[in-house]
Amino acid sequence: MGRDWFDRSDAATLAQPQRLCFFFNAQIHQLFHALPIAIALSRDPGFAVDVMAATDDHLALARDIATTQGAGPIRFLRCGGRWLDALAGLTGATIPPKIASLIAARRQLAEYDAIVVPERTSLLLKRLGLSKTRFIHSCHGAGDRAVGYDRRIAQFDFVLLAGEKQRRRMLDEGLIREGHYAISGYNKFDLTRPQDGRNRLFAQDRPVILYNPHFSPKLSSWPTMGEDVIHQFARDDRFNLIVAPHVRLFDNRRKRAAMERQLADLASLPHIHVDLGSRASIDMRYVHMASLYLGDVSSQIYEYLARPRPCLFLNGHRADWQEDRSYGHWHYGPVLASTRGITDAAAAAIADHAAYVDAQRQGVARTFGNLDAHSASSAGMRAARALSHYLQRSQTAARPALDGLPRLELAAHA
């Protein structure tokens, strides 16, 4: 990011930097959806940027990413104390209970001009006394399901969107209003680069199937189909299989350990790789190396389709999906109601991919816009620019006029 982006008027430079906190109160994968904005703003002298998180694991990953990306000054803070770790330990969860983290962090967070979060539970802080703090939402995914259009989004002061699909639907549902949102792109793409890593996982160079079941018990293919999928690919030597569920499916450490033991024999096969929650399962490296995406309702399908490739979907919950926009992505490949002959179905989906290419490209364009056109600047830069404009505009509007002079609108140069 060039320094010219941060040129400001003399009036702006005289002001104290605005204090921003990027608060991570949920599972670790959400770092990828907001940290690029923190990194971009950390290079702007008009902002003092902190990253606050609920666990040491979050902070270790955040520091690593910030260092790799050449961030400016960022403070990395733990919220609460070690008693939060004890609470998580009682249940085996990877994060403390969200409400407990919010209560623990309330006083610290009250010191900031704005808080940026990729989830919605943190809005409870408004009821805990943070009525003057501005809340900024960075969406954590760009899928089709209704959960991505939570009514609580309307309570945010400013919303950062991945593309036109989100903008239209949120406007239609009254979740955003003009002047209080911006389309800035998909932040996670800033931190990941396509690479062919097949040889680092598998001895044989075969088509790689990525099985990415969702965590929702009502929507995921895992409860009724998951293990059968693995067993069938284990018996078929045409493919390499990566089993990388949404990180929340085995968010509980005890359940994860139990499932790893249960799948140990299958995972030991040379063409089966099982990852129930490592960093590799959240940083898109599996998405980049896959030849076919096998899944259900996860928004990760759009991360995969940034480079159109074959897909195959599992309808394990008997959804009547054809006219339901929450299943819009199921028009990008065949949809199966059974796992019978799943490996042959995978081979057919690869062979017949041409029939779905146009639909995939149109879906990606609606979701992210023209990715090639965005290559000149990162999503984090665009989000930082939009957020800077909004916060300066809001700060100016809130400042009393001096000596009868009109208020100035302070805006960073685009």
Side-chain half-sphere CA neighbours of 359 within 13 A: 13
Q: What is the pLDDT along the chain (414 residues), one digit of tens a residue?
A: 443 445 444 344 446 899 999 999 999 999 999 999 999 999 999 999 999 999 999 999 999 999 999 999 999 999 987 889 899 999 899 999 999 999 999 999 999 999 999 999 999 999 999 999 999 999 899 999 999 999 999 999 999 999 999 999 999 999 999 999 999 999 999 998 776 544 579 999 999 999 999 999 999 999 999 999 999 999 999 999 999 999 999 999 999 999 999 999 999 999 999 999 999 999 999 999 999 999 999 999 999 999 999 999 999 999 999 999 999 999 999 999 999 999 999 999 999 999 999 999 999 999 999 887 666 579 999 999 999 999 988 877 665 544 443 332 323 332
For residues 87 and 89, give the distance between their C-alpha atoms in angstroms, rounded to a whole number: 5
User: 200 is written with which tokens?
Assistant: 């680092």
Q: Torsion angle, CA of 274/302/197/257, rounded to 10 degrees?
A: -20
Separation between Cα atoms, residue 382 and residue 380, nearest integer Å: 5
pLDDT tens for 222-281 read 999 999 999 999 999 999 999 999 999 999 999 999 999 999 999 999 999 999 999 999
- Say which residue the tokens 């081979």 belong to: 347
Q: Return the sign of the alpha-carbon dihedral for residues 199, 202, 203, 208.
A: negative
Distance CA 124, CA 128 (A): 7
